[in-house]
Chain A
Amino acid sequence: MKILEAVNVYKYFPIDIFGRKKIRAVDGISLHVASSETLAIVGESGSGKTTLGRILSGLVKPDKGKILYKGSSFNGFHGKVQMVFQNPDSSLDPSWQTYDIVSEAMNNRRKSLDSVAEVLELVGLNPAYITKYPHELSGGEKQRVAIARAIAAEPEIIILDEPVSALDASIRAQILNLLLDLQEKKGYTYVLIDHDLGRVWHISDRVVVMYAGKVVEEGKTEEVFQDPKHPYTIMLLSASTSNIPKPKINVSIQGELPSLINPPSGCRFRTRCPFAQEKCKVEEPQLYNVSREHEVACYNQF
């Protein structure tokens, strides 16, 4: 069942006061998230994946297109989508104690010391933590409190915006396991925004690869990782140091993300693509199905 859907969404950020120059952060994206699955969105920094996550959460209104929650379009917030942010230092109000942070997410009837302690227990924190201010917590503990706040709101979907990137390597596995446990217990749907392909490989059911504001490949994680169809996906996989399947051909990273103000004509990846043809300059390749659930936007076939 599709629980969350993005239908042809656009988000341009104007960078001059007249609105003539715009950063095309999200440039016509459609995707869906199925109930209780983990959908990963991967791409380089600046590919628009964070903006897409914020559009899915409702924090950013798309310029065009709509977001459907269980099939009906919504505007603003309905409380069923919560978010865990990348930077644990900025995600907790420094003047609030843990009790207040977690209980803020509960409605008044449920707000009590017991229910806050219960949620803290779920994220692996002792009830004694309710007295602590954020500056008294370590990075991993802060992220646990942020997760506690998200689940205290009784959400269905949690958007994880690089939830462990800012943490110490030794803490990352703990937090990821915690998130997986919670999903198993409560059946949450996750949208994981991450650039680390190792984590995406281990956690996600499906993966969306973004490049310069567009989706270039989408499909079951296993299928996309083991049989990547887009040269950009192949490039990302070749470059990863994580323990993931190595692609059949090796495409080394070259060049940088093009300007999102004046993106290249045709295929946006052609400026870095070793397989670019004349056609790629003229016409933009559209997503097509290579198998039932595997889509790619490229003229070449690998």
Chain B
Amino acid sequence: MIRKETLLKEMNEHRKTIRVATWKAFKRNKISLLSLIVILSVSALSTVGIVYSPYNPYQPNFSGALMPPSLAHPLGTDWLGRDILSRLIAGGKYTLGLAFVAILIGATIGTFLGLASGYYLGLVGTIIQRVSEIFLILPTLIIAALFAAVLGTGLLSTLLAIAIPTIPVYAKLVHSAALRVRNEDYVEAARLLKKSGPYIMFNHILPNILHVVIVQTTYYMGTGILTVSALGFLGLGVPSPTPEWGTMVGDAKDYIFSYPFVVFIPGILIAVVVVAFNILGDGLREALDPKLRRLL
């Protein structure tokens, strides 16, 4: 008869081979692999790296202000003599963390809305899509200014200012992806098996459009970081002295001609991380598409 245990084990192992093949396909693209390494190192530095921060990021040292990069201060000091490297390490959790949490919240809500409107269509779907379109025309910066005015500047208003405009983007993206999948015969087959709408949405539609969501989220992480920084730069985001990277650039803009490194070092870091996320998104798009799986 059938060797039950062996078959079950083979099934699980076979499931793993798909993951391995995806990783192999991703690894083939060296530039996106490099981007992943950059993102992971910056994230590690901003979290566990805090322990190794060489100086207190908030402690002024007026005798050592505006020092160019040296052995004692690898990235120099700002106009209050604070170590820029230590400030960048401390600021990562604001810039990256805020963007990450905000995009995650926006993506989750938007994905659910898009799934529901893409599967049910009808009145529910139309309402979700029309409301999304209205929200889509509101620029992020206006919404941010609104929240800053109502709630005051800070973590919460930055978070909302990024999360809320993200929702309609995902609602529309997932809606159109779900529309493509909902007419596939396997969805019809599941309906013939008397499966419920939510069951079909989460078991048949979501797994087959998840790669779209993951890739979009990677791109949007870059955009989110840029928005956090832009808000910080304009004074609508996380207020100083918190060393959010955009706030650091904004606070230092008076020194752009006399001591350009104070502005450029955090600026370059923002640019590098944003570009890394975009390249990572390209790499993931190629590796995750289930349609391309047969080519592995």
A residues engaging B (CB < 8 A)?
A: 57-59, 77-79, 81-83, 85, 87, 90-95, 97, 99, 104-105, 113-114, 117, 127-128, 130-133, 135, 146, 149-150, 153
Q: Are B14 and A131 in contact (CB under 8 A)?
A: yes
Residue among A82, A95, A105, A149 with the highest chain B CB neighbour number at 10 A = A95
8 contacts between A and B (CB under 8 A): A78-B194, A83-B189, A93-B207, A99-B11, A113-B2, A114-B2, A128-B10, A130-B7
Residue of chain B at shortest CB distance from A149:
B189
Q: Are B294 and A83 in contact (CB under 8 A)?
A: no
Q: Are A85 and B191 in contact (CB under 8 A)?
A: no
Q: How far is the CA of A278 from the CA of B245 in the complex (A)?
A: 84
Q: How far is the CA of A91 from the CA of B183 in the complex (A)?
A: 10
Q: How far is the CA of A58 from the CA of B194 in the complex (A)?
A: 11
Does B253 reach chain A (CB closer than 8 Å)? Answer: no
Q: How far is the CA of A146 from the CA of B290 in the complex (A)?
A: 20
Please name all residues of chain B whose beta carbon is closer than 8 Å to the beta carbon of A82 when the two chains form the complex.
189, 192-193
B residues engaging A (CB < 8 A)?
A: 2, 4, 7-8, 10-11, 14-15, 18, 184-186, 188-195, 204, 207-208, 290-291, 293-294
Q: Are A153 and B193 in contact (CB under 8 A)?
A: yes
Residue of chain B at shortest CB distance from A87:
B185
A91-B185, A95-B208, A135-B294 known; A79+B192 contact, CB < 8 A: yes
Give the secondary structure class of B's interface: helix
Q: How many A-B residue pairs have CB under 8 A?
A: 81
Q: How far is the CA of A133 from the CA of B15 in the complex (A)?
A: 9
Q: How far is the CA of A95 from the CA of B184 in the complex (A)?
A: 13
- Interface residue from A77, A90, A131 paired with B186 (Cβ < 8 Å): A90
Residue of chain B at shortest CB distance from A59:
B188
Q: How far is the CA of A57 from the CA of B135 in the complex (A)?
A: 40
Q: How far is the CA of A94 from the CA of B288 in the complex (A)?
A: 13
A59-B191, A83-B188, A93-B186 known; A131+B294 contact, CB < 8 A: no
Residue of chain A at shortest CB distance from B190:
A104
A58-B192, A127-B2, A135-B293 known; A97+B7 contact, CB < 8 A: no
Q: Are A91 and B192 in contact (CB under 8 A)?
A: no
Q: Are A81 and B192 in contact (CB under 8 A)?
A: yes
Please name all residues of chain A whose beta carbon is closer than 8 Å to the beta carbon of B195 when the two chains form the complex.
104
Q: How far is the CA of A191 from the CA of B102 in the complex (A)?
A: 53
Q: How far is the CA of A113 from the CA of B9 in the complex (A)?
A: 12
A79-B194, A113-B4, A153-B193 known; A94+B290 contact, CB < 8 A: yes
Q: How far is the CA of A91 from the CA of B188 in the complex (A)?
A: 8
A59-B191, A117-B2, A153-B193 known; A97+B207 contact, CB < 8 A: no
- Interface residue from B2, B8, B185, B192 paired with A77 (Cβ < 8 Å): B192
Q: Are B204 and A93 in contact (CB under 8 A)?
A: yes
Residue among A59, A82, A131 with the highest chain B CB neighbour number at 10 A = A131
Question: A93-B208, A104-B193, A127-B7 provided; 9 other pairs, C-beta below 8 A?
Answer: A90-B185, A91-B185, A91-B189, A95-B207, A117-B2, A128-B10, A131-B10, A132-B14, A153-B193
Residue of chain A at shortest CB distance from B207:
A95
Please name all residues of chain B whose beta carbon is closer than 8 Å to the beta carbon of A130 when the two chains form the complex.
7, 11
Please name all residues of chain A whose beta carbon is closer than 8 Å to the beta carbon of B204 when the two chains form the complex.
93
Residue among A77, A85, A93, A128 with the highest chain B CB neighbour number at 10 A = A93
Q: Are B192 and A83 in contact (CB under 8 A)?
A: yes
Say how far B120's CB is from chain A's closest CB, in angstroms. 15
Q: Are A85 and B293 in contact (CB under 8 A)?
A: no
Say how far A127's CB is from chain B's closest CB, in angstroms. 5
- Interface residue from B15, B193, B208 paired with A105 (Cβ < 8 Å): B193
Residue of chain B at shortest CB distance from A112:
B4
Residue of chain B at shortest CB distance from A79:
B194
Q: How far is the CA of A286 from the CA of B217 in the complex (A)?
A: 60
Residue of chain A at shortest CB distance from B204:
A93
Please name all residues of chain B whose beta carbon is closer than 8 Å to the beta carbon of A135 when the two chains form the complex.
290, 293-294
Please name all residues of chain A whose beta carbon is closer than 8 Å to the beta carbon of B293 when the two chains form the complex.
94, 133, 135
